[in-house]
Amino acid sequence: MARIMIVDDNKDIVQTMQDLLRDAGHTTAATYGGKDFLVKVQKFHPDLIVMDVMMPGMDFKDLLEQFLQLQLSAAIILVTVVRFSSDEGVVLRKRYRVVDYIKKPFQVKDLLASVKKHTR
């Protein structure tokens, strides 16, 4: 199964996602913010990253820019309450390797379906 990193400042959401993804057979790691993510991602080498868009202290696009500089190959699923325009979506997909979006609050079936689709 896949190595999945969860990035969210809400510890309850992180714990829920970890439980769900571990039950589905995946190995998980979690970070609660941008700087912690940039350190841990280099050690964990995830196949997939599930990242909240709204976190204090760092804009998610800035975080993704710094992630790209690490030259790791993980795909990214964004968890968001924000709707992106189709133009923004294209940029996120092409520039930042965003493969999917999950609406927050997320439905378990949506999270698991997206992870399954992008970890084959």
3-108, what's its fold?
Answer: Rossmann fold (3.40.50)
- Read off the pLDDT of each residue in 30-50 and give the average, rounded to a whole number: 93
Per cent of the chain over pLDDT 70 is 99
Q: Domain segments of the chain: what residues?
A: 3-108
Distances (CA, A) of 107 to 15, 34, 94, 112: 15, 24, 26, 9
Q: Which tens digits make up the pLDDT trace of 47-102?
A: 999 999 888 777 888 899 999 999 998 999 999 877 776 777 777 778 888 999 89
How high is the pLDDT of residue 95?
Answer: 81
**What percent of the residues of the chain are helix, what percent strand, and what percent coil, each to the nearest 5?**
45, 20, 30
